[in-house]
Every structure is written in structure tokens, then in C-alpha cells.
């Protein structure tokens, strides 16, 4: 047997066989595909997907715009408020727009235009049928500001912002306390058309189902606003403050109103830490049982925390010459503010609050400062008149068809007797 030299002997590969095989596969995948194979594969792909691709290109919008206008909803009553749920259901069922929701995680009715600065805010997705929704650990104004920033949703400019449906009217100077009005005003600051909707909630009379009727009653106005926004003819520089009467199903129609100077009386009451009183919603007579129970839980937690943190006396360093420690008493008192309705017999018939009491849906156009300017009032009056006329025409059309069907049925019934 011949001896082999060192040069002819096979060298030992120091790498494992599995690693070598893996490296070979990666290198093979990086090799460029021959031009003939590329053209053949492309032709086969076009033959297989030609028709569907053509249909997709025809149906997809060329400018990337959504097929339907986007409407952003929020509510001072929180993400789980019945008013917000009723409005979402009504808009989704109507199919006129794409519904997006950004609302506080809890009830925040009297925050005004407060915002959260230099504190972390959490946005958590929430399941809403037919809508994309987030609950926010901030104020209603935070919700609108965040939604319009482009950080939360893939868009930054919806067609319309709607705040509501709020439990309790936002008439007169209540708008300065109202978070519902503030959210709509924040959208107006960003240049986005906005509407605030409130139900004239009556304690021991109103029920959660009234929110559904209120949403249905406001749909014609919302749809008309969307149509004019798409045409570029909607009212400029104002938001619409809409008040729905306490019995929405029996409303007398829309009425253009002016913001009143009405202001509820504020009353402060001393409360005890060991016996929390009933929760008070903004305008205490305007709240549902669910809101009351939620607020009672908050009050009970706050009372417990106060008892744990309560300190009757503290010891401080004495300034006396003897060097003894001096004991001082720390007094801690708890108070709760309530709003009490005042009598308002002398209100004009065109005032928002009077229109609500008379059963009308109040529509008050407000600028960013909460005022109704003459150059806004006249266009708003013409626009609302057109909306009412269009709504009456739609209601009359089905009635005419029914009358025609009734007359045809009567003629068919009389025909045999004539024979």
C-alpha cells in the first residue's frame, strides 16, 4: 500500500456539518435569479392574479383617502357612558361614516378645558362593535388633542368631532364648567368641525333608553353636517351646541337658539369622613343609577384614605427658651360642592334652556370663545332651515307611498263589488 503525502491528505473541517449546511443554504438563497427565470415567474404570477389585481386597482382609492368620512366621538361621561354607546350604535347602524372613539376611562363631567401636561397618559383599546375605540387616562380635552395629533389613530384630521351624548344640559354659563363643550371647542381650535350633544336629564324621570332616542333624533342633523363638510359648505368658525329635551321621542323639532346667561347656584356642604353622602354629578339632578354607584365607590375610597391619613396633632420644634416641644393641632375639614337650579321664569323663548323646556331640540352655534356672533347666526339659521326642510321631505316621501298603496288597495277591493 502506497503512502500518501501530507499535501494529498484531506484536511479536517473544523466547523460542524450542520453549520456548514446552513451556511450553504443561506449563500444559495442570496444568489441572483437568472433573468429568464424572473421573467417566467412574473408572467405566471400575472396570469394567475390578473383579474383580481385589476379589480383591486379599480376599487382602491387613488389618493389613499378613506371611502367614508371619519367621525371622532368622545364623551365627558366616560368610555362606558350610555350616551356614548347610543351614539356609536346609531352612527354605525347608519353606515354613513367610519366611527372612531377616544374617551376618558371614567366620568369627567366638570373638568372644563383642563389638560394633562408632563404626566404619562395611557391609551387602552376597547371593544366597540363597528368602531375603533380607545379609553384614555386623561380629560376629554386630552382625548381630542391626542386623537388629532396623529399619534393614536392613522389619521390626524377627521371630518367631524362629536362630544356626547352628555347627561345634563350645557346651557348658559354651564358651558364654562362642561367638559363636553370643552372637547368640542378643542376640535374647533384645531380647525375641525365639531358638535356637542347633551340630554336634558331629569332625576327620577329620565332613563338610559332616552339616550338612544336622543341619538336617533340628532342623526338628520349629523348626516346633513357630514354632507356639507364633504362639499366644503359647512358652517365656519363655530361649533354646534345641541340640547335634546328630556323626552327625545316627543321632541318638537330643531330650533336655533342663543346661549343664555343662566348659571346654576353653587352650594358648598360640609361632609363627614366616616359617612360619605350620596354622589353628586354635575347638576346633581342629572345622573343615572350607574353614575351614582360609580361615584359612591369613589367617595367611599376617598373617605377611607382620609381616615388613614387623618392626623389630629403633630409635634414641631419649640421656639420657647425652655427647649420643650410644642404641640399644635391640625384641623382638617371636608366639603363638597353642589349645583342647585335657580328659577328662570323671565327667559326669552329663543334662549337655549327655554327651548329645551318647551320640547325643542336646541341648536346654538358658538365660536371658540363661547359667543354667537352676528356673522355666524345668520348662516346657521339658513343652514338649519335647509336641514329641517330636507328632513321633512324625507318624512313625507314614505307617507306618500303609503297613501298610494292604500288607494290602490281600496280600488282593488271595490272592483269585485262593481262587477
The domains of the chain are located at 70-265+354-367
Q: Is the peptide bond before 165 cis (omega within 30 degrees of 0)?
A: yes
Q: How confident is the model at residue 38 (pLDDT cuts 50, 70, 90)?
A: very low
pLDDT value at 294 more than 70? no
Q: Model confidence over 42-86: pLDDT tens digits?
A: 444 444 444 443 333 333 344 454 579 999 999 999 999 999 999
User: What is the arithmetic mean of pLDDT over 349-368?
Assistant: 88
Compute the chain's Rg from CA coordinates: 33
Q: Model confidence over 394-409: pLDDT tens digits?
A: 666 554 444 444 444 4
Q: How confident is the model at residue 166 (pLDDT cuts 50, 70, 90)?
A: very high
**DSSP conformation letters of 363-375:** EEEE-TTS---HH
Contacts of 367 (CB under 8 A, 6+ apart): 188, 237, 238, 373, 376
> What's residue 322's pLDDT?
59
Span of 108-112, 189-193, 226-230, 336-340 with lowest mean pLDDT: 336-340
Enumerate the H helices of 196-343 as residue ranges.
Answer: 209-231, 289-309
Span of 136-140, 186-190, 367-371 with lowest mean pLDDT: 367-371
pLDDT value at 293 more than 80? no
> What's residue 203's pLDDT?
83
Cα 413 to Cα 164, 401, 404, 406, 409: the distances in Å are 51, 18, 14, 11, 6
User: What is the arithmetic mean of pLDDT over 122-136?
Assistant: 95
Of residues 265 and 151, more confidently modeled: 151
> The cell 373638568 sits on which residue?
111
Instruction: Give the chain's mean pLDDT.
Output: 75
pLDDT value at 126 more than 90? yes
CA dist., res. 292 & res. 197, Å (int) = 21
pLDDT value at 95 more than 90? yes
Of residues 140 and 23, more confidently modeled: 140
Contacts of 235 (CB under 8 A, 6+ apart): 193, 365, 376, 379, 380, 383
Of residues 301 and 362, more confidently modeled: 362
Provide the whole-model pTM: 0.67
User: What is the arithmetic mean of pLDDT over 107-136?
Assistant: 91
User: What is the arithmetic mean of pLDDT over 379-404?
Assistant: 69
CA dist., res. 173 & res. 126, Å (int) = 33
pLDDT value at 150 more than 90? yes
> What's residue 158's pLDDT?
95
User: What is the arithmetic mean of pLDDT over 109-136?
Assistant: 92
Which segment, 19-28, 115-124, 170-179, is predicted with the most confidence on average?
Answer: 115-124
pLDDT value at 2 more than 80? no
CATH topology of domain 70-265+354-367: Stationary-phase Survival Protein Sure Homolog; Chain: A, (3.40.1210)
Amino acid at each position: 500500500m502506497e503512502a500518501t503525502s501530507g499535501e494529498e491528505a484531506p484536511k479536517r473541517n473544523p466547523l460542524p456539518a450542520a453549520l456548514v449546511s446552513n451556511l450553504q443554504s443561506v449563500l444559495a438563497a442570496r444568489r441572483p435569479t437568472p433573468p429568464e427565470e424572473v421573467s417566467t415567474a412574473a408572467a405566471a404570477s400575472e396570469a394567475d392574479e390578473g383579474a383580481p389585481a385589476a379589480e383591486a386597482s379599480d376599487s382602491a382609492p387613488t389618493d389613499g383617502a378613506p371611502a367614508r368620512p371619519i367621525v371622532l366621538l368622545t364623551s365627558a361621561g366616560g368610555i362606558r357612558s350610555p350616551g356614548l354607546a347610543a351614539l356609536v350604535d346609531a352612527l354605525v347602524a347608519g353606515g354613513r361614516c367610519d366611527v372612531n372613539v377616544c374617551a376618558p376611562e371614567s366620568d369627567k363631567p366638570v373638568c372644563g378645558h383642563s389638560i394633562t401636561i408632563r404626566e404619562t397618559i395611557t391609551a387602552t383599546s376597547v371593544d366597540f362593535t363597528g368602531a375603533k375605540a380607545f379609553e384614555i387616562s386623561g380629560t376629554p380635552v386630552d382625548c381630542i388633542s391626542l386623537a388629532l395629533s396623529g399619534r393614536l389613530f392613522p389619521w390626524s384630521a377627521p371630518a367631524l368631532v362629536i362630544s356626547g351624548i352628555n347627561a345634563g344640559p350645557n346651557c348658559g354659563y354651564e358651558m364654562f364648567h362642561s367638559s363636553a363643550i370643552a372637547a368640542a371647542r378643542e376640535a374647533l381650535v384645531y380647525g375641525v368641525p365639531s358638535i356637542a350633544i347633551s340630554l336634558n336629564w331629569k332625576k327620577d324621570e329620565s332613563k338610559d333608553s332616552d339616550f338612544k332616542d336622543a341619538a336617533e333624533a340628532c342623526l338628520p342633523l349629523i348626516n346633513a353636517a357630514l354632507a356639507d363638510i364633504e362639499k366644503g359648505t359647512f358652517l365656519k368658525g363655530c361649533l354646534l351646541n345641541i340640547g335634546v329635551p328630556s323626552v327625545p321621542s316627543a321632541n318638537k323639532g330643531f330650533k336655533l337658539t342663543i346661549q343664555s346667561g343662566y348659571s346654576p347656584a353653587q352650594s358648598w356642604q360640609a361632609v363627614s369622613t366616616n359617612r360619605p353622602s350620596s354622589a353628586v354629578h354635575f347638576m346633581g339632578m342629572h345622573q343615572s343609577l350607574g353614575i351614582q354607584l360609580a361615584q359612591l365607590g369613589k367617595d367611599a375610597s376617598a373617605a377611607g384614605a382620609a381616615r388613614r391619613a387623618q392626623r389630629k396633632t403633630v409635634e414641631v420644634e419649640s421656639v420657647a427658651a425652655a427647649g420643650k416641644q410644642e404641640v399644635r393641632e391640625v384641623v382638617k375639614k371636608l366639603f363638597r360642592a353642589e349645583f342647585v337650579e335657580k328659577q328662570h321664569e323671565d327667559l326669552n323663548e329663543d334662549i337655549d334652556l327655554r327651548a329645551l323646556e318647551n320640547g325643542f331640540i336646541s341648536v346654538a352655534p358658538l365660536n371658540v370663545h363661547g359667543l354667537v356672533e352676528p356673522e355666524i347666526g345668520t348662516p346657521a339659521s339658513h343652514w338649519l332651515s335647509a336641514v329641517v326642510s330636507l328632513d321633512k321631505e324625507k318624512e313625507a316621501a314614505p307617507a306618500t307611498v303609503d297613501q298610494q298603496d292604500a288607494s290602490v288597495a281600496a280600488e282593488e277591493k271595490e272592483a269585485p263589488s262593481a262587477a
